[in-house]
Structure 1
């Protein structure tokens, strides 16, 4: 594309007001956490009833006028098929308060799409940059009834202002081509309580970070963070990498990979006190779509994670490039994005490119090497090749005419795709 930056060029976003920079993945992770953690133990009937009351009082309808009926609530023992869940972190929603400043509008600054495959063998979490310029559909404001006409190009984080959670769902659904059945809206109120409920999360820093804008002050090495410190870590932008929003996404992916590893551990999954505490906090601080108001639904969805290995759970950044017309915005790398969502829609396994440069994180030197791409085995056992690898018979002197070429191994890596698996351990790079 004309005006695009060469490969490896850092994408920076324009500086925004301090209170908009939190972009905390934990707001998004909280629902995923509640779902996953609930899978480790049975929830008492009285607790389920209590949680249901809280959730139903805050439920949001995300259905579109032309949508089909909501999926039925499954039995607690099973969830049939895959699902898509959009988690939205809204800045300046009514629950935020004044501690982080004020805004005239509410923006969806965090947008994470969780996809679980049909056979529950793989999952992917795609993070969408808030400054991504994309088309927006027609949306209706649920509070005022005002209809906002479709827009050819607008920042992703403007969707909430145009029509609340349902508009964000419609916008991401149109962008990805995926039907999104479930959604959750979160704000600052859940961050401290949710991290306290899981007992903190280990994070790694390559050097000390002291960022007065987010309030983060951590030494080099590994620290277990919770509460307000976790919020500061996930809001932090200027203290990590090159200070860009994309560096912050990579930083947040480091956090959630560590979080997933912890909640998949036996100690966490069998701690009934933590499970109920987390579910209760989520029910009080999370606005769920009407398709998610039954705790049985969440528990059944949670059980799908029990069969997903850490190296089969990808944390991906939506593919973007620098906008040649505005250095503070990004636009889709369309071919790469199309390949990504074709794989997701077809439940085809894939891995991010381990050679793709990610600003803001590096491999943890004390951890195992990054996940390598598995090769697809040939349909028949390979024999000693009669031709040089990558050649055809007759193309190289000395080969046997008519010989069958050696099978060429294929890989699940999507070249240029940035991200990591939940198994990969990284460290945040201080700015």
Structure 2
């Protein structure tokens, strides 16, 4: 991983007992009252009803106990939260309780490359295990009326300004005018990455979660695996990912390595990895929707536990009801209204930089809760699935960064909304990605091409 180059960077600092109250009571003698005559023999129907009633009572009580244990188990798994602050430096508070979240949601998901405490399979003697870079940074935006959602992926090597961030040990870190986005996590932790993305997008971010390798593995396993399409063989010695062309159901370690592979997809760049991850995410959402996962308490519990045990959450996310409330907002969003996009960027020496006009069009639409319409390619890490006529084939080299000198790629069309698409904002072609209803395949890359 690239080292942090700025000399301004400082290292980030980074059973309850049950009371036993006894009650005093007098023993009460139960008397038996004898009645004249024979007792009536209970009928088979009456006996059957009693058995049913007893069984139902036991089931309800047992179910309540199991539910209580499950809730306690999840709550006990939650790690201490990270305090987030808004753009004014104020703590994020006063968040609603359980139920479909009453309004819009901005949730930041950060994937850390830290090997600290991870499976031995990820320990490389040549890699600093104490490093903590945000190699994956995604912002999930759900509109206030819950009619549409957008997941924006930010390139790790994109040069951005990093604002002054709170130091967990007190005080604050200095701001920096130009650093790669993936240094923000090691600089000031999850709160710093949230502030950086908030400044970059103009959106307040009240929820954030940091996940490491083990967390991704646990989440994919809780889903029972995700079936992805591979157009060409994927061969990557770095992540030990070797997949033939066709469909593969991935979970645990294999799912994680598929998401991590860079050398084995597209042109081998981090941008290709983003579009490859979008193949996985769209397949996952299709699977979640078809299996009605968001209405299945058992699966939701497994996912909540996996998240609580394996993620570092912001204070605002550490309550179980908040996690479920956010999940419930996606329950009724149509797949065609869930978009996975890449932050518009252009290639520069040593990385990429934002395309400001295109980014402004994207985040103005999200800020106004307007649906978006993509005109750009899916990216060089993905191709259209032949069985899906709605998917857009990526242009050659589309993932290598747009040409900032090309007005057509960087600015929205003159008519920025499409009445035929329900007033969706038409985005410039430099905003690449796909919708969750599109079936796409990973564009593999063999060792011979590396």
TM-score bin, normalised by smaller chain: 0.7 to 0.9
Task: Quote the offset at 1:94 in angstroms.
Answer: 3.3
Structure 1 69/137 Cα, relative in aligned 2: closer, same or farther at 3 Å?
closer
Structure 1 258/420 Cα, relative in aligned 2: closer, same or farther at 3 Å?
same
2:338 is aligned with 1:313: yes
1:135–1:152 CA contact under 8 A, matched in 2: yes
2:437 counterpart (413, 418, 423): 423
Task: Quote the offset at 1:377 in angstroms.
Answer: 5.4
1:141–1:162 CA contact under 8 A, matched in 2: no
Map residues 116-155 of structure 1 onto 2, 5 A cutoff.
116-142=142-168, 144-145=169-170, 147-155=172-180
Secondary structure class of the residue paired with 2:155: coil
2:121 is aligned with 1:99: yes
> What is the rounded CA distance, in whole Å, between the counterparts of 1:330 and 1:146 in structure 2?
31
Task: Quote the offset at 1:111 in angstroms.
Answer: 0.6
Secondary structure class of the residue paired with 1:316: strand
Task: Quote the offset at 1:161 in angstroms.
Answer: 1.6
Structure 1 262/410 Cα, relative in aligned 2: closer, same or farther at 3 Å?
closer
Q: 1:63 aligns to what?
A: 85
Task: Quote the offset at 1:302 in angstroms.
Answer: 1.5
Larger Rg: 2
Task: Quote the offset at 1:73 in angstroms.
Answer: 4.0
2:227 is aligned with 1:202: yes
Name which structure has the greater RCO, CA cutoff 8 Å, separation 6+: 1
Alignment length (residue pairs) = 357
Secondary structure class of the residue paired with 1:264: helix
1:171 counterpart (196, 199, 207): 196
1:84 counterpart (90, 106, 109): 106
TM-score when normalising by structure 1: 0.77
> What is the rounded CA distance, in whole Å, between the counterparts of 1:83 and 1:312 in structure 2?
15
Secondary structure class of the residue paired with 1:179: coil
Secondary structure class of the residue paired with 2:352: strand
Q: 2:302 aligns to what?
A: 277
Q: 2:397 aligns to what?
A: none
Structure 1 357/272 Cα, relative in aligned 2: closer, same or farther at 3 Å?
closer
2:381 is aligned with 1:367: no
Task: Quote the offset at 1:278 in angstroms.
Answer: 2.0
Q: 2:184 aligns to what?
A: 159
Task: Quote the offset at 1:82 in angstroms.
Answer: 0.3
1:202–1:225 CA contact under 8 A, matched in 2: yes
Structure 1 270/350 Cα, relative in aligned 2: closer, same or farther at 3 Å?
closer
Q: 1:376 aligns to what?
A: 419
> What is the rounded CA distance, in whole Å, between the counterparts of 2:228 and 2:323 in structure 1?
27
Structure 1 94/58 Cα, relative in aligned 2: closer, same or farther at 3 Å?
farther
2:117 is aligned with 1:74: no
> What is the rounded CA distance, in whole Å, between the counterparts of 2:220 and 2:355 in structure 1?
34
Secondary structure class of the residue paired with 2:341: strand
Task: Quote the offset at 1:221 in angstroms.
Answer: 1.1
Secondary structure class of the residue paired with 1:301: helix
Deviations 1:264-289 (A, max 9, x none): 12353454433322221211111110
TM-score when normalising by structure 2: 0.74
2:109–2:210 CA contact under 8 A, matched in 1: yes
> What is the rounded CA distance, in whole Å, between the counterparts of 1:188 and 1:82 in structure 2?
29
1:362–1:426 CA contact under 8 A, matched in 2: yes
> What is the rounded CA distance, in whole Å, between the counterparts of 2:257 and 2:91 in structure 1?
40
> What is the rounded CA distance, in whole Å, between the counterparts of 1:268 and 1:410 in structure 2?
30
Secondary structure class of the residue paired with 1:183: strand
2:294–2:328 CA contact under 8 A, matched in 1: no
Secondary structure class of the residue paired with 1:306: coil
Deviations 1:349-392 (A, max 9, x none): 112215x3621111000224238x994159xxxxxxxxxxxxxx
> What is the rounded CA distance, in whole Å, between the counterparts of 1:377 and 1:276 in structure 2?
40
Secondary structure class of the residue paired with 2:140: strand
Q: 2:353 aligns to what?
A: 331
Task: Quote the offset at 1:69 in angstroms.
Answer: 5.2
2:238 is aligned with 1:213: yes
> What is the rounded CA distance, in whole Å, between the counterparts of 1:87 and 1:163 in structure 2?
16
